[in-house]
Amino acid sequence: MTMSILTNILAITTTLCFFTNSYQPKPYYHSLYTSPSLTNNESISHHLYILTRRPHLAGTTANAEAASHVLSTLSANNIQSHLAEYAVSLTYPDSRSLKLTRPPPEPPTTFDLQQVVYKDDPYADVADQVEPTFHAYAKSGTVNGPVAYVNYGRVEDYTTLQETGINVTGSIVLARYGEIFRGDIVENAYEAGAIGVLIYSDRKDYGGGGGGAKWFPMAGWPSSMEGCERLSEDEVEKAGDVPLIPSLPISGADGEQILRSIGGVVAQDDWQGDNDAPVYRIGPGPGVIELSYKAKQVIRTIQNVIGIIEGREEPDRFIILGNHRDAWTFGAVDPNSGTASLLEVAERFGKLQKKGWKPRRTIIFCNWDAEEYGLIGSTEWVEENQEMLASKVVAYLNVDVAVAGAGFHAYATPQLDQLIIEVIKQVQDPDNSSQTVYDSWVKAIENPEIGRLGGGGSDYVAFVQHIGVPSTDMSFGSAYPVYHSMYDDFVWMNKFGDPLFRRHLAAASIWGLLALKLADEEILPFNYSSYAYELQKSAEDLETELSGSSNISLIPLFKSIEKLNKAAVRINDKIKEIKEKNRWEFMWKNENEACRMREVNDRLMLAERAFTDQDGLPERPWYKHLIYAPSKHDNYGSKGFPGVDDAIENANKLNTKDSWRSVQHQIWRVSRVITQAALVLYGELT
């Protein structure tokens, strides 16, 4: 009897010891995630090198090979992975020419439009695989006309020209890149009467800007491999979703040479270049440009790589990490610094799994294709899986460019602000080991703020602006001199962007910690008080803008924001109550308590969906989010209450009773979705 009891006790003790060794509380794994034992800058450097050995434009064999590398890396780290393929319309350059004619005795200049291979360039042997410079979906055609300088080609720049009495109708305009999306530069030029567009990177701006394009129409259904409904080229052109005049990107040197051929009025000071640049004049002429471009349009297969770590307790709730893989050329910065960081996160998660970690919620890795052509891969996937994603996605965490230089930048829907700040306080600054990323962020910027995801520059667009998913985007560095050129290669990154790959490791640490907290914390770390505060600021700005419009009432907007704020306070109190009641961690909670937490989490997750409206924005119905969407004239820019902003712009032009009534209608629409979000947070029927 004694031996039997002793044997049972030993058996129980052994079982408990085994369980203790195989299971650790979630914070243990979160702390382990950033430890030196799991991080590996050599591995992340190797991934970037492999991904950037060849140019890998969407639809090419080289990009398919890069997809295979991503797929095999995810699979090797115990992440179930597959390809999601789509047959989509892509364009490539077939022929291009550019000729400048100046008054005699100056001879005409025919530009070679080539990116030069520099001495000892280690990628010289594959330089011929780089496609000639072009704009995706640019219109084919030959145009001839005097050249006019239009600064950044913004709406306000054309307004300045108009006020000066300068007409660019029939001209080919020269615009410097850096302030707005290149597609909008072309569209604005067309609306101003120009017949062609040249976009150059001014030395003063270093090219600037970010990735992405909106030129391909967002049709609203996936281009599946088995066949799908397709729009004709004529239908796409009539819809205004592609440019209607020819355009071409050119180098800063070629742009400067063309600038020297322009006479007329001297441009104002803020239109001028750096100290070594010539005096910028507006024209048009006397220089005359002949621009010819011919595109080839094809249906090509693109490949998203999808990897899944299934959650243990809540497998039907998704945390998605996304980055695109396709590049205009080698893409060491844009986008493969992000891809290498994604693979670093995957490898660390693989190591955590070996140590016993399993996420509470499902984590999904998405490596997108054809982002540079207009966010195609992510948009196709979201449209194909829309109903399931709308009901199950907790958050989407995007990284496009992970590293372009020093300095941390973050963007998010507001309920995630506090989580980002909490995470960057836990990650060591890659350029100063004595402080955190948060410390360096607040010291470097006078009033550090997390930006908003209203622009259309990367793959968060379909998640935020189409189906209403809480999302983030982040990077180290911003504008960099080799943007979208063939010099964006591993050599530049290794010498200038991140020689020790510490910034890549920091990006992976922040990205992964965000995912871990969203995947593992029992109560989702959302705070809608931040959202209410952000909306209040936007409403006050709108009030200032409309101060002279006595017939417009913002009372419904302010009342709806007040409701949201009260709902946010109430659910925060509810979360505090639940945490107080369960402050001692138990492995198993009773069923009622689990259901209670799940219900609160559903409210936190779905409140963002309530900011969307099925009818979308006026004339832009694909964009469903009434709080955040791109500016109508700058796809990279962001406007709070975009429908209201569009209506105000129209009313200022027409100044009719109906146009101002439309402004009031859009204010009511925004007020209604904010009220709906408040009701979701309350979780009670009216």
What integer pLDDT is reported at residue 233 of this predicted model?
Answer: 66
Task: Give the pLDDT band of residue 531 (cuts 50, 70, 90).
Answer: very high
Does one domain contain both 576 and 610?
yes
What's the CA gap between 156 and 142, in Å, rounded?
Answer: 28
What integer pLDDT is reported at residue 19 of this predicted model?
Answer: 33
Does one domain contain both 555 and 668?
yes
Tens of pLDDT, residue by residue over 319-366, are 999 999 999 999 999 999 999 999 999 999 999 999 999 999 999 999
112 in any annotated domain: no
* Locus of tokens 């992405």: 212
What integer pLDDT is reported at residue 213 of this predicted model?
Answer: 32
pLDDT (average), residues 435-447: 93
What integer pLDDT is reported at residue 452 of this predicted model?
Answer: 95
41 in any annotated domain: yes
Chain CA centroid to CA 45, Å: 23
Asked if pLDDT for residue 219 goes beyond 80, the answer is no
Report the domain count for the chain.
Answer: 3
What is the DSSP-derived secondary structure letter of residue 497? I
Please pick, among 371, 372, 380, 534, the residue that the annotation labels catalytic: 371
95 in any annotated domain: no
pLDDT (average), residues 51-62: 98
> What sign results for the dihedral spanned by CA atoms 76, 78, 79, 81?
positive
**Of 23-32, 157-166, 193-202, 611-620, minimum mean pLDDT range:** 23-32
Q: What is the mean pLDDT of the chain?
A: 91
pLDDT (average), residues 407-433: 97
Asked if pLDDT for residue 133 goes beyond 50, the answer is yes
Does one domain contain both 441 and 559?
no
What integer pLDDT is reported at residue 234 of this predicted model?
Answer: 66
77 in any annotated domain: yes
Does one domain contain both 573 and 658?
yes
pLDDT (average), residues 373-385: 97
What integer pLDDT is reported at residue 158 of this predicted model?
Answer: 97
Domain CATH number, residue 588:
1.20.930.40
629 in any annotated domain: yes
| Percent of the chain whose pLDDT exceeds 90 | 81
Judge whether 336 and 52 are in contact, CB under 8 Å.
yes
What integer pLDDT is reported at residue 604 of this predicted model?
Answer: 98
What integer pLDDT is reported at residue 634 of this predicted model?
Answer: 75
Kindly give the interhelix angle for 528-545 and 657-682, rounded to the nearest 10 degrees: 170
What integer pLDDT is reported at residue 224 of this predicted model?
Answer: 57
Asked if pLDDT for residue 217 goes beyond 70, the answer is no
110 in any annotated domain: no
What's the CA gap between 540 and 410, in Å, rounded?
Answer: 24
Asked if pLDDT for residue 225 goes beyond 70, the answer is no
Q: Which of 286, 321, 355 lies at the terminal end of a domain, its last residue?
A: 286
Task: Give the pLDDT band of residue 119 (cuts 50, 70, 90).
Answer: confident
Domain CATH number, residue 397:
3.40.630.10
User: Residue 322 forms beta bridges with which residues?
Assistant: 366, 398
Does one domain contain both 269 and 329?
no
Does one domain contain both 281 and 310?
no
Q: Which domain holds residue 424?
A: 26-88+302-520
Backbone angles phi, psi at 423, to 5 degrees: -70, -45
Q: Which of 491, 520, 549 lies at the terminal end of a domain, its last residue?
A: 520
Asked if pLDDT for residue 588 goes beyond 70, the answer is no
pLDDT (average), residues 660-672: 97
Tens of pLDDT, residue by residue over 641-653, are 999 999 999 999 9
Does one domain contain both 275 and 336?
no
Is 371 a known active-site residue?
yes
Q: Which of 286, 315, 349 lies at the terminal end of a domain, its last residue?
A: 286
17 in any annotated domain: no
192 in any annotated domain: yes
What integer pLDDT is reported at residue 227 of this predicted model?
Answer: 58
Does one domain contain both 280 and 357?
no
What integer pLDDT is reported at residue 14 of this predicted model?
Answer: 32
Does one domain contain both 538 and 595?
yes
Domain CATH number, residue 251:
3.50.30.30
Does one domain contain both 76 and 143?
no
What integer pLDDT is reported at residue 218 of this predicted model?
Answer: 38
Does one domain contain both 372 and 513?
yes
* Locus of tokens 């109550």: 577
Tens of pLDDT, residue by residue over 139-179, are 999 999 999 999 999 999 999 999 999 999 999 999 999 88
Does one domain contain both 479 and 538?
no
What's the CA gap between 158 and 164, in Å, rounded?
Answer: 10
Asked if pLDDT for residue 12 goes beyond 70, the answer is no
